[in-house]
């Protein structure tokens, strides 16, 4: 049995194994909800799934005619998704505690992966759903780039933003706060100067959750769909942008993996990007 929870720990659940699959999904909807390059899910029979606390704080958002996504209304962490029509439940692996007895088996929806995200492992890749699954694909929205402007939005589209100029840095963070907050193997954040950023629409939809013992760590998300959105930080003069919320290419690629000493036990880091146990040297 695996236990899962959100970042604030208000929403908890249990899922009985063994898990039948673990997949990395690169579809635009997963990228936006999790604010990352991909989301990683484990799948198990629905009979072994149960909410154990906080169901009154659960928000359900219908992201497509056949898909419902869940998240915690307090901290925005994505929850598990029961699929009774298929007899299964899918849960974000990053929200589950400890060793899961399974490793990722494939990448799906690589046909719509983010341009800044490089797949460097040897796992099988599928442009959409794997053959024989019998599921219907959902088209990926396309935004025409504008010179000098980087755009982004939430999953439901009610929140939109734009950034002028080049980013300062881009990092993959494996700390436990980022993994739980994004419900992803790691967060990918792009940092800009505060005066480069502006909300285009829907700023009133943004909800923030700050961890009480953290100096700066704050999650910003859409109250309607749960998608992760930028968090301006006036005290530091920067804005932290969840890369999964981007609609156009920021023109930078991740420069390092940080806090890898805290990474998920089921996730193997591949590729040549530098790795640091915690924060890199100043």
pLDDT value at residue 137: 56
pLDDT value at residue 213: 79
Banded model confidence at residue 140, pLDDT cuts 50, 70, 90: low
What average pLDDT does range 231-249 have in this prediction? Answer: 96
Banded model confidence at residue 212, pLDDT cuts 50, 70, 90: confident
On the 0-12 / 13-18 / 19+ scale of CB atoms within 10 A, 126 is middle
Percent of the chain with pLDDT over 70: 96
pLDDT value at residue 71: 97
pLDDT value at residue 274: 97
Residue 46 reports pLDDT greater than 70: yes
Q: Where are the beta strands (DSSP E) in the chain?
A: 2-5, 12-15, 21-25, 39-45, 49-53, 58-64, 67-72, 81-83, 88-92, 106-108, 149-153, 160-164, 169-173, 187-193, 197-201, 206-210, 218-222, 231-233, 238-242, 256-258
Banded model confidence at residue 65, pLDDT cuts 50, 70, 90: confident
Domains of the chain: 2-112 (2.170.150.70), 149-262 (2.170.150.70)
């Amino acid at each position: 049995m695996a236990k899962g929870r959100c970042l604030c720990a208000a929403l908890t659940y249990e899922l009985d194994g063994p898990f039948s699959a673990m997949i990395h999904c690169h579809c635009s909807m997963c990228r936006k909800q999790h604010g990352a390059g991909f989301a990683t899910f484990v799948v198990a029979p629905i009979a072994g799934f149960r909410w154990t606390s906080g169901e009154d704080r659960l928000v359900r958002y219908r992201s497509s005619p056949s898909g419902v996504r869940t998240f915690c209304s307090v901290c925005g962490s994505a929850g598990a998704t029961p699929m009774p029509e298929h007899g299964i439940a899918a849960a974000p692996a990053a929200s589950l505690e400890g060793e899961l007895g399974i490793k990722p088996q494939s990448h799906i929806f690589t046909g719509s992966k983010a341009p800044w995200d490089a797949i460097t492992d040897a796992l099988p890749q599928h442009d959409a759903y794997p053959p024989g699954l019998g599921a219907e694909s959902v088209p990926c929205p396309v935004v025409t780039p504008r010179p000098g402007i980087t755009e982004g939005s939430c999953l439901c589209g009610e929140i939109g933003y734009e950034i002028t100029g080049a980013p300062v840095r881009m990092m993959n963070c494996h700390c436990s706060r980022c993994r739980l907050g994004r419900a992803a193997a790691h967060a990918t954040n792009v940092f800009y100067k505060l005066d480069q950023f502006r909300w285009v629409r829907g700023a009133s939809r943004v909800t923030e959750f700050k961890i009480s013992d953290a100096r700066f760590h704050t999650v910003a998300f859409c109250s309607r769909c749960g998608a992760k959105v930028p968090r301006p930080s006036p005290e530091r003069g920067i804005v932290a942008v969840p890369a999964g919320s981007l609609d156009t290419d920021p023109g930078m690629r991740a420069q390092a993996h940080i806090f890898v000493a805290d990474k998920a036990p089921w996730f193997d880091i591949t590729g040549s990007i530098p790795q640091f146990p915690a924060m890199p040297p100043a």
